[in-house]
């Protein structure tokens, strides 16, 4: 089921006062609240206590909670991912900061072979409640090793929850949910939408009114940002904002696009995907991760496995076409799932309409 929440730039109807925040500030508030209210929550990472993390995820937390709870680590991701997992097994709730998800290769073993499998292999004896907070994404000429999304690489491994909020309201609520979850949660935020100053202009649709107090946003529910009747644009991460822009363009052509944010890849809201596609009959998936063997294929497989007859036309994918992220701006923008590519795909799906039942 999709949740019909207020659009993120509208005020959520919550009792406590709210302010418009960036994702980065909003999720940081959740971390601060949890650290204040649960002595087992602590943070480890590189350059977090004073600098606040490269993308501001720990800004001010070192000064507030001290170096014993906001622990600066050496450049030893294998070591401190394992460390966090062990601490989690003994009842702590570590939040590990890994500035760029691109670096996950050096500690993938500690995550995928240890943290993700311990609950299973121990038959439920040991829980590993830890959050890995990491930045994803391209669009600012940081080239092939600092621009990847890698949603699917993580989502593919059993035992890892993978979420990627796209607005400040969700970022805070999902961070509360992540910290309180008893599993390894990888919390992926697109750097371009996080609201960090040096990432360029703010993405307006990522800003939201955020309540002061704590609240949770559940995992495994899509968010319908914009309702439509002709085509579903199912997206993840920054591509959601590109899709919203594409929907504006399409509206000028008389095409009514529904924009669905997955928000959570594991667990995946397959019912929510199906509900939207069954309504519109057409599907475009937009994802900044690599095209093949990824989230976009999973979304389409969901529809095909449930009921391919809902599709009036073949689905299309707008992803990075299985190449590394180039440095040069025109090269980079040619392969990202920007609004024009999404709109083109939607138009193609519309013109490719072969009538319901003739898929």
As measured in angstroms, the least distance from the Cβ of 112 to another protein is 10
Nearest distance in Å: CB 158, another protein? 5
In the structure encoding, which two tokens stand for residue 323, read together?
A: 């190449």
Which of 3, 36, 109, 334 is in the footprint of another protein by CB under 8 A? 109
Q: CB–CB of 143/182 below 8 Å?
A: no
Residue 219 touches another protein, criterion: CB under 8 A: no
Write phi, then psi, for 274 (nearest 5 degrees).
-65, -40
Torsion angle of alpha carbons 269, 272, 276, 277, nearest 10°? 50
Is 176 catalytic? The answer is no
Residue 337 contacts residue 245 (beta carbons within 8 Å): no
Q: What value does the CA radius of gyration of the chain take, rounded to a whole number of Å?
A: 20
Residue 90 lies near another protein (rule: CB under 8 A): yes
Smaller CB separation from another protein, 120 or 327: 120
Give the β-pairing of 208-211 and 160-163.
unpaired
Indicate which single residue of 89, 217, 257, 311 sits in contact with another protein (rule: CB under 8 A): 89
Query: Of the candidates 38, 182, 305, 322, which one interacts with another protein according to CB under 8 A?
Result: 182
Q: Is 146 a catalytic residue?
A: yes
Strands 160-163 and 264-266, sheet pairing: antiparallel
Show the site string, 303-332: x = touches another protein by CB under 8 A, - = not: ------------------------------
Q: Write out the two tokens for 101.
A: 């998800």
> How many Cα atoms sit within 13 Å of 13 on the Cβ side?
3
Query: Given candidates 78, 212, 292, 352, which one binds another protein under the rule CB under 8 A?
Result: 78
How far CA 222 is from CA of 14, 24, 207, in Å, comes to 20, 21, 18
Question: And the tokens for 337?
Answer: 């799932």
SS3 of residue 208 by DSSP: strand
- Residue nearer to another protein on the CB measure, 24 or 266: 266
Nearer to another protein, 24 or 157 (CB): 157
Closest separation between CB of residue 265 and another protein, Å?
14
Cis ω before 267 (30° cut-off from 0):
yes
Distance, CA of 277 to CA of 166 (rounded, Å) = 21
Complex with another protein: residue 74 or 254, whichever CB lies closer: 74
> Nearest 5°: phi and psi at 37?
-100, -10
Q: Tokens standing for 166? A: 């796209």
Here's the x/- map for another protein, 11-50, by CB under 8 A: it reads as -----------------------------x-x--------
The answer to the question of residue 74 lying near another protein (CB under 8 A) is: yes
> Which of 146, 190, 241, 242 is labelled catalytic?
146
Q: Choose between 88 and 295: whose C-beta lies nearer to another protein.
A: 88
# binding residues, another protein (CB under 8 A): 47
Region near another protein per CB under 8 A, out of 45-53, 81-89, 325-333, 351-359: 81-89
Active site residues: 77, 146
Residues of this chain that bind another protein (CB under 8 A): 40, 42, 68-69, 71, 73-74, 76-92, 94, 106, 109-110, 113-114, 118-129, 158-159, 161, 182-183
């Amino acid at each position: 089921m999709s949740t019909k929440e207020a659009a993120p730039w509208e005020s959520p109807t919550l009792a406590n006062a709210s302010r418009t925040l960036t994702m980065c500030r909003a999720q940081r508030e959740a971390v601060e609240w949890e650290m204040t209210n649960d002595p087992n929550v602590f943070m480890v990472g590189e350059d977090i206590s004073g600098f606040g993390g490269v993308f501001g995820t720990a800004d001010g937390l070192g000064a507030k909670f001290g170096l014993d709870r906001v622990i600066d680590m050496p450049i030893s991701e294998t070591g401190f991912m394992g460390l966090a997992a062990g601490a989690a097994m003994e009842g702590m709730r570590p939040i590990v900061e890994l500035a760029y998800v691109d670096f996950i290769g050096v500690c993938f073993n500690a995550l995928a072979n240890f943290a993700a499998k311990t609950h299973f292999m121990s038959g439920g004896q040991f829980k590993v409640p830890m959050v890995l907070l990491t930045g994803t994404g391209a669009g600012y000429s940081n080239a092939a090793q600092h621009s990847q999304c890698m949603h699917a690489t993580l989502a593919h491994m059993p035992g890892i929850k993978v979420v990627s909020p796209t607005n400040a309201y969700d970022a805070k609520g999902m961070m509360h949910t992540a910290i309180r979850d008893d599993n390894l949660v990888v919390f992926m935020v697109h750097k371009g939408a996080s609201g960090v100053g040096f990432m360029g202009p703010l993405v307006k649709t990522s800003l939201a009114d955020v309540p002061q107090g704590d609240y949770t946003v559940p995992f495994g529910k899509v968010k319908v940002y914009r309702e439509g009747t002709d085509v579903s644009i199912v997206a993840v991460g920054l591509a959601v904002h590109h899709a919203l822009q594409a929907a504006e363009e399409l509206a000028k052509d008389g095409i009514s696009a529904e924009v669905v944010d997955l928000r959570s890849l594991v667990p995946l809201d397959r019912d929510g995907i199906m509900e939207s596609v069954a309504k519109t009959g057409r599907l475009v998936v937009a994802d900044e991760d690599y095209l093949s063997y990824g989230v976009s294929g999973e979304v389409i497989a969901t529809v095909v496995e449930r009921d391919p007859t809902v599709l009036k036309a073949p689905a299309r994918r707008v992803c990075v076409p299985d190449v590394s992220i180039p440095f040069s701006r025109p090269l980079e923008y040619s392969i990202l799932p920007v609004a024009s590519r999404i709109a083109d795909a939607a138009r193609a799906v519309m013109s490719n309409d072969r009538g319901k039942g003739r898929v």
